[in-house]
């Protein structure tokens, strides 16, 4: 596919971004003589897990997590 390069730059057609619906920003870098578009994925809530822990008095929760969550030992 050819695209027009203007003084402002180049527009990437949306059809080339099919399958990348989960991002609204991208990094654009030059690498080995090529221009690479790297999608910046919207933040995933799992990355917030553990940022604000609470005190429970359990000292080995990370070691015995399954036991405390499901009642079974690893």
Per-residue pLDDT band for 36 (boundaries 50, 70, 90) equals very high
Helix and strand element counts for the chain (H, E): 1, 2
Strand, coil or helix: what is 31? Answer: strand
Choice between 41 and 2, residue whose per-residue pLDDT is larger: 2
Choice between 12 and 57, residue whose per-residue pLDDT is larger: 12
The domain ranges of the chain are: 1-44
Strand, coil or helix: what is 10? Answer: strand
Give residue-wise pLDDT tens across range 51-65.
Answer: 887 777 777 777 777
Count CB neighbours of 68 within 10 A.
13
Residue 73 has pLDDT above 70, yes or no: no
This prediction's pTM: 0.48
Per the DSSP assignment, residues forming a β-bridge with 57 are none
Q: What is the mean pLDDT of residues 13-21?
A: 80
């Amino acid at each position: 596919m050819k695209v027009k390069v203007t003084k402002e730059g180049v527009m990437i057609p949306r059809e080339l971004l099919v399958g990348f619906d989960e991002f609204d920003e991208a990094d654009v870098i030059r690498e080995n003589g090529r221009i690479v578009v790297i999608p910046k994925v919207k933040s995933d809530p799992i990355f917030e897990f553990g940022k604000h822990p609470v005190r429970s008095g359990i000292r080995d929760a990370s070691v015995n997590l399954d036991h405390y969550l499901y009642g079974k030992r690893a």
